[in-house]
């Protein structure tokens, strides 16, 4: 019998090994043409580089990459359970509860326990290939970020997230660059937006900074006993709380102490997950003191102990009597954005490190968008398309995309295909929008 090697899959056991006759019934399996096509496609897909896969996806998706949701667990406080997950999905055992969803994330969550890829977004690709957005940016940075931007920026440089806690978060701080660099991390400046139409939770107020007299009189050590004793929430007596209003927000520079309230919050920040908790007792339990020293070098902890964390505090900003006026963010209409089909508002501004907008497109209408660089989108409400890519607000399987540079910087149409307003949040990294507005009052 003249059988070519490539046809071995069609041979019976006796034909392959005539000397190995057994009492088992002879079996003959012939792969169908469709099965062989699928096998060939899988083999070809496995051999493609990440850059090849991303390039193919960009062509297929017209420069608008759909993303999978990235769920993140935390131990700090109970979940607010407003992320749209089934009730039995929130509790994840030793990891805590699902309290956050990270958006277009290239940042790994820095948790005590958890999967190695926690916090990282994945491209929503057809087939079995799994590629994180971080891998895509690393391997196809020019295609995603644009040649000029990729030449001066190592990545997207920002992290958007939804955080959803059933209690106020502990009073804590994020390091400025000088302290973050000691442990090889990035600083973490951030900003908040409180979307409308969502329950604000039991504590819709956020503490910011310290009383002005503490900074004016250099009484920095007033906070130290609470860090040493680590048994109460009384450190909050030295701060000020502000009531949270839907459609409002705050800009929080690195080095500013804060205890975010229980409102569902859409946050935009620098690409980092660094912090130090200053409040021991929260939501009825004392959290681990290791969360105070999480991003402190062992030698600094040994040398100065809890006192070292006081160096993280930007005292003039924390004690600024006009802190609210300088860092409160309200939506600002972008006059040049107004079209018959909709308009945009700045909702994240006051910093060159990131920026963000809210786009509203009216029912059965369209809006022509053009931006200065790559951006990601969260569809908050309604349904429609972005350059032909479908998005559905409130559906984690279809509400998140990344619009790459070449698509973002050329006119592309956003169409509202539903009967209610299509509301999209756009997130940009550092230096993308040099025209971002600033709050007028400067720190004296």
The first and second tokens of residue 185, run together, are 């991390």
pLDDT at 10 over 80: no
Q: What pLDDT score was predicted for residue 353?
A: 97
Output the DSSP codes for 148-207.
HHHHH-SS--EEEEEE-BSSPPPPEE---HHHHGGGT-----EEEE--TTS---S--EEE
State the number of CA atoms in the 13 A half-sphere of 3 facing the CB: 11
d(CA 156, CA 133): 10
Half-sphere CA count of 172, side-chain side, radius 13 A: 27
Average pLDDT over residues 58-87: 96
Q: Quick one: pLDDT at residue 48? A: 87
* Cβ contact 235:278 at 8 Å: yes
Q: How confident is the model at residue 128 (pLDDT cuts 50, 70, 90)?
A: confident
pLDDT digit string (tens) for 156-181? 999 999 999 999 999 999 999 999 99
Instruction: Provide mean pLDDT across the span 36-56.
Output: 72
C-alpha–C-alpha distance, residues 7 and 77, integer Å: 61
Radius of gyration in angstroms for the set of CA atoms belonging to the chain, rounded to a whole number = 26
Residue 21 has what pLDDT?
A: 41
Pick the range with the lowest mean pLDDT from 17-21, 42-46, 243-247.
17-21
Predicted TM-score (pTM) of the model is 0.88
Sorted by where each starts, the structural domains of the chain and their CATH numbers stand as 65-329 (2.60.120.10), 333-428 (2.60.120.10)
Q: Which residues of 277-313 are buried (b: 16+ CB within 10 A; e: fewer)?
A: bbbbbbbeeebeeebbbebbeeebeeeeebebbbebb
Strands 383-386 and 389-392: antiparallel
Instruction: Give the pair of three-digit tokens for residue 248.
Output: 């409002």
pLDDT, tens digit (0-9, with 9 covering 90-100), for 298-330 = 999 999 999 999 999 999 999 999 999 999 999
Predicted pLDDT at 30? 57
pLDDT at position 101 over 50: yes
What are the Cα distances from residue 366, in Å, to 24, 96, 288, 338, 381?
A: 67, 42, 51, 12, 15
- Residue 418 — pLDDT band, cuts 50, 70, 90? very high
Is pLDDT of 195 > 60?
yes
Provide CB contacts within 8 A for 243, sequence distance 6+: 204, 205
238, 191 Cβ separation under 8 angstroms = no
4 or 282, greater pLDDT: 282
What's the mean pLDDT when you consider all of the chain? Answer: 91
Name the band, by pLDDT with cuts 50, 70 and 90, for residue 20: very low
Q: Which residues pair with 243 in a beta bridge?
A: 205
User: Is residue 208 predicted with pLDDT exceeding 90?
Assistant: yes
Average pLDDT over residues 432-440: 95
Please say if the pLDDT value at position 83 is more than 60.
yes
Q: Which of 113, 112, 65, 99 is nearest to 386 (CA)?
A: 65
Question: pLDDT at position 47, please?
Answer: 60
Per-residue pLDDT, 23: 42
Does 424 have pLDDT greater than 90? Answer: yes
Predicted confidence (pLDDT) at residue 2 exceeds the cutoff of 60: no
293 secondary structure, DSSP code: S
Least confident interval from 37-51, 213-227, 259-273: 37-51
Which of these, 293, 315, 316, lies nearest to 182 by C-alpha position? 293
């Amino acid at each position: 019998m003249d059988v070519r090697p490539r046809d071995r899959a069609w041979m019976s056991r006796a034909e392959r090994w005539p000397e190995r006759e057994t009492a088992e019934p002879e079996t003959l399996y012939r792969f169908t043409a469709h099965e062989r096509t699928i096998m060939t496609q899988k083999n070809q897909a496995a051999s493609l580089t990440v850059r090849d896969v991303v390039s193919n996806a960009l062509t297929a998706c017209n420069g608008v990459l759909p993303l999978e949701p990235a769920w993140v667990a935390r131990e700090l406080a109970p979940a607010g359970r407003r992320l749209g997950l089934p009730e039995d999905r929130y509790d994840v055992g030793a990891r805590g509860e699902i309290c956050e969803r990270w958006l277009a994330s290239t940042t790994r969550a820095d948790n005590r326990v958890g999967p190695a890829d926690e916090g990282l977004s994945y491209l929503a690709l057809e087939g079995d290939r799994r590629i994180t957005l971080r891998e895509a940016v690393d391997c196809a940075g020019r295609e995603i970020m644009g040649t000029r931007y990729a030449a001066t920026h190592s990545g997207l440089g920002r992290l958007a997230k939804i955080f959803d806690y059933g209690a106020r978060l502990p009073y804590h701080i994020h390091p400025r660059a000088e302290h973050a660099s000691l442990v090889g991390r990035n600083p973490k400046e951030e900003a908040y937006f409180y979307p409308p139409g969502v329950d604000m939770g039991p504590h819709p107020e956020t503490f910011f900074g310290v009383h002005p007299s503490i900074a004016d009189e250099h009484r920095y050590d007033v906070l130290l006993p609470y860090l040493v004793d680590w048994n109460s929430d009384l450190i909050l007596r030295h701060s000020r709380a502000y009531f949270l209003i839907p459609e409002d927000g705050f800009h929080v520079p690195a080095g500013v102490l804060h205890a975010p309230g229980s409102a569902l919050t859409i946050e935009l920040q620098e690409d980092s997950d660094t912090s130090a908790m200053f409040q021991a007792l929260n939501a009825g339990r004392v959290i681990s003191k290791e969360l105070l020293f999480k991003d402190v070098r062992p030698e600094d902890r040994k040398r100065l102990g809890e006192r070292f964390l006081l160096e993280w505090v930007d005292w003039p900003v924390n004690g600024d009597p006009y802190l609210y006026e300088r860092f409160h963010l309200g939506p600002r209409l972008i006059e040049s954005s107004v079209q018959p089909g909709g308009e945009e508002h700045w909702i994240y501004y006051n910093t060159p490190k990131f920026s963000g907008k809210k786009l509203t497109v009216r029912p059965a209408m369209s809006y022509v968008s053009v931006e200065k660089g790559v951006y990601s989108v969260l569809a908050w409400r309604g349904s429609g398309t972005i350059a032909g890519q479908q998005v559905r607000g409130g559906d984690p399987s279809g509400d998140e995309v990344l619009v790459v540079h070449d698509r973002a910087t050329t006119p592309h149409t956003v169409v509202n295909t539903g009967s209610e307003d299509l509301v999209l949040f756009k997130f940009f990294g550092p230096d993308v929008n040099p025209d971002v507005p600033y709050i007028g009052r400067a720190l004296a």
